[in-house]
Amino acid sequence: MHKKHDAIIVGGGLFGVSTAYFLAKAGWSVLLIDRGFIGAASSGANFGGLRLQGRALEQYPLSLLAQQYWERFQEEFGSPCEYERNGMIYFAHSDKGREKLLHYAENSRQCGLAINLWEGEELRKNLPWLSGDGIIASYSPACAVANPRLATPAIARAFKRLGGSILENCVIEQFRKDGDGFVLTSADGQEFMAATLINAAGGWADSIAETFGETVPLLRAGPPQFVTEPLPYVLKPSIYTIEGDLIIRQISRGNFIFAGYPRTMSNEDGRHTFVPPAKTRNGMQAIGRYIPALKHAEVIRVWSGVEAYLPDMLPVIGASQTTPGLFHAFGGSGGGFQVGPAVGLCLSNIILGRPNDVPMEPYGIGRFRSQIKTSDKLKLEFDAARPTQRRHL
């Protein structure tokens, strides 16, 4: 039996390490456990976009709070993460897409985000490389990018400097409520105790929630992604089609990183999301269609991640409704990387009994007690979206 901690966090992704950091900063004894390596799942395999445009209205306060931490990431966490406020462009290539883009732009402006709209000659002037398929674009200079392979480990190191403990490659097979606390048993027989348990297990978080009587309609999937050979640096902003078939950015070393819809469902064991070769081909065809100058770029690596999606595309953040001392932080739904630091801050405030400056009611796990209809947006972004089998952690 290991020593008892104030809190155990299961899941070493961005939600988990951020919560661990802010609890340790408040003086708590925290143990962070991951079944693999810190930041090695979706937190390290995502596109790296810190997108502010296109958020649900209720998520903007959380997103704008997170941006404050990305802006001063190195000052807060002690290491760089290749943060760059490069701006982001949405463009539409259909009438339906134009309608959606204008709706997104209005939502952004309502929440204080500056948005420029370009059509006709102004569109051609600002995006001379764009093919004739583009009919309207919106530009947000506040949007940014960061390197996902650096960000989560940086916060984990900051957490350790505050006295936190990390245990990697530890599979927890049993979770048990024991009096006023929790006992966790690993596959190799180790036991860990804490008064507070935080479920930040990403694509595996529904299994922990189910253990404590909370059923969550979680999907495991990932977008097809690839990176090209290095090319001359010519494209600063991130580029997204509102229809989702092209998401691309160029890093300072010259490589172009691509992502796009529809996402692919993860394999049955939930450990990998494979990218069908046809999706890489389709991605290159989209690049050639919208940015003809890149149609002959060479793809050098293909990957995806295992991301957790919920029907309303909002994460779960907050206290369990069945088990005192249990808290949840999971389900980034494709936008979790950007909000990650704010998720950790706000959840730690909830745990510590401190007030939050942003409303947290939209993120409660209790919203799934009544059936939530899967949004049309969610249906369009997945190939044959279906629940996968639950597994032991």
What is the DSSP code string of 210-228?
HHTT-----EEEE--EEEE
Residue 330, in any domain of the structure: yes
For residue 272, what pLDDT band results from cuts at 50, 70 and 90? Answer: confident
CB contact at 8 A, 341 and 70: yes
Specify the pLDDT at position 268. 74
271 pLDDT band, cuts 50/70/90, is confident
The last residue of one of the domains, among 277, 305, 333, is 305
Same domain? For 205 and 233 the reply is no
Q: Rounded CA gap, 198 and 10, in Å? A: 6
Residue found by looking up tokens 């979680």 in the block: 218
State the pLDDT at residue 391.
Answer: 35
Pair (292, 343) in one structural domain: no
Mean predicted confidence (pLDDT) in 137-153: 97
Name the DSSP letter for residue 237.
S
Query: Is pLDDT above 70 for 201?
Result: yes
Backbone angles phi, psi at 373, to 5 degrees: -70, 135
**Same-domain status, 205 and 251:** no
387 pLDDT exceeds 70?
Answer: no
Q: What are the tens digits of pLDDT across the range 349-364?
A: 999 999 999 999 999 9
Check: CB of residue 347 under 8 Å from CB of residue 198. Answer: yes
**Sequence letter at residue 215:** T
pLDDT of residue 385: 40
Give the pLDDT score at 384.
56
Whether 288 is in a domain gets the answer yes
How many Cβ atoms are within 10 Å of 272's Cβ, its own excluded?
13
pLDDT, position 393: 33
Q: Do strands 256-259 and 225-228 pair parallel, antiparallel, or not at all (unpaired)?
A: antiparallel
What DSSP element (H or E) covers 303? strand 299-303
Q: What does the alpha-carbon distance between residue 24 and residue 28 come to, in Å, rounded to a whole number?
A: 5
Quick one: tokens of 264? 């692919």
Residue with tokens 């209790």: 366
| Cβ within 8 Å of residue 105, ≥6 positions away | 53, 115, 117, 138
More confident residue, 187 or 392: 187
The domain boundary, picked from 290, 305, 320, lies at 305
**Within a domain: residue 161?**
yes
Q: What is the pLDDT of residues 3-22, one digit of tens each?
A: 799 999 999 999 999 999 99
Domain annotation covers residue 100: yes
**H or E, element range at 140:** strand 136-140
Q: Is the pLDDT of residue 67 over 70?
A: yes
Average pLDDT over residues 336-342: 97
For the segment 189-213, the average pLDDT, to the nearest whole number, is: 96
State how far the Cα of 186 lies from the Cα of 163, in Å rounded to an integer. 23
10, 155: one domain: yes
**57 within some domain:** no
The per-residue pLDDT for 372 is 61
Write the CB contacts of 256 (distance below 8 Å, at least 6 apart in sequence): 227, 228, 231, 235, 248, 249, 250, 287, 294, 297
- Asked if residues 64 and 111 have their Cβ atoms less than 8 Å apart, the reply is yes
Q: How far apart are the first and last CA of the chain?
A: 19
Banded pLDDT at 206 (limits 50, 70, 90): very high
How do 264-265 and 219-222 pair as beta strands?
antiparallel
299 touches 285 (CB < 8 A): no
* Angle formed by the axes of helices 148-161 and 336-352, nearest 10°: 20
SS3 call for 30: strand
Find the CATH number of the domain harbouring 297: 3.30.9.10
Answer yes or no: do 28 and 99 share one domain.
no
Whats the size of the chain, residue-wise? 393
Average pLDDT of the chain is 93
For residue 18, the model assigns a pLDDT of 98
Q: Which two tokens stand for residue 260?
A: 């796009």
Structural domain ending residue among the three candidates 262, 281, 305? 305
Q: What is the pLDDT of residue 21?
A: 98
Share of the chain above pLDDT 70, in %: 94
Whether residues 296 and 251 fall in one domain: yes
Range of the domain at 167: 4-47+149-218+310-373
Arithmetic mean of pLDDT, 302-320: 95
Task: Identify the CATH number of the domain in which residue 43 sits.
Answer: 3.50.50.60
Asked if 89 and 237 touch (Cβ cutoff 8 Å), the reply is yes
Digit-coded pLDDT (tens) for 20-45: 999 999 999 999 999 999 999 899 99
Based on the fold, state whether residues 282 and 225 are members of the same structural domain: yes
- pLDDT value, residue 134: 94
pTM: 0.93
Same domain, 272 and 335: no
Q: Is residue 213 part of a domain?
A: yes
- Give the pLDDT confidence score for residue 382 in this predicted structure: 77
Domain annotation covers residue 68: no
- Find the mean pLDDT for residues 112-125: 95
Look at residue 148 and tell me whether its pLDDT is greater than 90: yes
Number of structural domains found in the chain? 2
pLDDT attached to residue 379: 54
65 by DSSP, 3-state: which?
helix
Q: What is the pLDDT of residue 389?
A: 38
Sign, Cα dihedral of 263, 280, 389, 361: negative
Residue 63: inside a domain, yes or no? no
Q: Are residues 316 and 330 in the same domain?
A: yes
Assess whether 161 and 272 both reside in one domain.
no
Q: Which helix (H) or strand (E) holds 380?
A: helix 376-380
Quote the percentage of the chain above a pLDDT of 90: 89
Task: Name the percent of the chain in helix, strand, coil, to the closest 5.
Answer: 35, 25, 45
Neighbours of 371 (CB within 10 A): 8
The H-or-E segment that residue 282 falls in is: helix 277-290
pLDDT given for residue 369 in this prediction: 82
Residue 359 · residue 61 · CB < 8 Å: yes
* Mean pLDDT for the stretch of residues 213-224: 94
- 176 with 296, same domain: the answer is no
298 and 224 in a common domain: yes
Q: How much is the average pLDDT of 134-158? A: 97
